[in-house]
Amino acid sequence: MTKNQLQDTIYSAKLDLEHEIKQLQRRITFNDIERINTSVEDEIDPGTQMARRCGSFEAMVTMANMDMQMCISNLEKTLKKINN
């Protein structure tokens, strides 16, 4: 591997890692449990409150799992790129 190829690989890996960090930070910001709890307080029926909370939490977990899987996949690709 030439010096230029190594520099390109390292730069590409850096960009990949920066992208993954932004994805994870976005997910942390979106997963604001306090926001969900305050948004359902206006519901009079406790059953409706619970249903809205459950649906919101289910969506949060599903999206977080999808993001984690994408991040893992992208990091594995980055590692593979570095190892070659």
pTM for this prediction:
0.64
Token pair 């969506």 is found at 59
pLDDT of residue 64: 84
What does DSSP assign to residue 44? S
Alpha carbon 16 to its chain's center: 14
Residue 30, CB-side half-sphere exposure with 13 Å CA sphere:
15
Both tokens of residue 21?
């960090």
pLDDT of residue 35: 78
Sequence spans of domains, the chain: 3-83
Walk along the chain (84 residues) and give the pLDDT tens digit of each residue. Answer: 788 888 888 888 888 888 888 888 888 877 777 877 787 777 778 888 888 888 888 888 888 888 888 888 888 888 888 887
CB atoms within 10 A of CB 20: 17
